[in-house]
Chain A
Amino acid sequence: GAVVSQHPSWVICKSGTSVKIECRSLDFQATTMFWYRQFPKQSLMLMATSNEGSKATYEQGVEKDKFLINHASLTLSTLTVTSAHPEDSSFYICSARNAGSSYNEQFFGPGTRLTVL
């Protein structure tokens, strides 16, 4: 149980294009999903909190118009990196919180490695 999938696992794109990353909870409902960014040999940096049916909450310093988040159902959240540039290259990981849990147990997706040329 508590499986989270992420698609694609890796993507290479040209500078200026947009890339969409999907995060799905496969066997549980997730009212809240989180999007993280991780640079090599560093910790996970929370970008935004995605709540089903409402606008995402972005962390300080994260551009909401650049990193568009949609959480249209209890099992799917998407992150779109708009007008990507080489500095957006990173490992993006989502996590999902089990709606049935009273504590903040989060389960992570396998991550998406984005390379912007």
Chain B
Amino acid sequence: GENVEQHPSTLSVQEGDSAVIKCTYSDSASNYFPWYKQELGKRPQLIIDIRSNVGEKKDQRIAVTLNKTAKHFSLHITETQPEDSAVYFCAASRAAGNKLTFGGGTRVLVKP
């Protein structure tokens, strides 16, 4: 089955700096890679996703890159703000209807 590894497990950045979270996956058939943000005690919220037919996707301060050859994808947050503090999860999935396999999560702390 799919295995997703996520690094780092914790990340502390100064407000205004960039944050990068990296994930690797094992199943070459995976074609959908979402990122979720989870605040304490709340539901995971989809913040951005990327599909295997593109290499990069950007939405304001958030971007995701995908390298299918190397089987890794990354989340980039620029100009970080205190409200970006949360736990971020990457995930990977095959075709529609299949389960998501989550990474272990990254706890991001943005210091003002």
Q: Which of A34, A49, A104, A106 has most chain B Cβ within 10 Å?
A: A104
Give Cα A46–Cα B101 distance, bound, in whole angstroms: 8
With A103-B51, A105-B34, A108-B45: A43-B93 Cβ-Cβ less than 8 Å: no
Question: B25 interface residue, CB < 8 Å from A?
Answer: no
Check A44 against B49 for contact (C-beta < 8 Å): no
Check A34 against B99 for contact (C-beta < 8 Å): yes
- Among candidates B34, B43, B49, residue contacting A109 with C-beta atoms closer than 8 Å: B43
Q: For chain B, what secondary structure do more than half of its interface residues adopt (helix, strand, loop), or is it mixed?
A: loop
Question: A77 interface residue, CB < 8 Å from B?
Answer: no
Check B97 against A104 for contact (C-beta < 8 Å): yes
Question: B13 interface residue, CB < 8 Å from A?
Answer: no
Give Cα A113–Cα B43 distance, bound, in whole angstroms: 12
Check B100 against A106 for contact (C-beta < 8 Å): yes
Shortest CB distance B75–A (Å)? 15
Instruction: Name A91's closest neighbour in chain B (CB-CB).
Output: B41
Task: Other than A93-B44, A101-B96, give 15 A-B pairs with Cβ distance below 8 A.
Answer: A42-B104, A43-B89, A43-B102, A44-B44, A103-B93, A104-B32, A104-B96, A104-B97, A104-B100, A105-B34, A106-B34, A106-B46, A110-B42, A111-B42, A113-B41
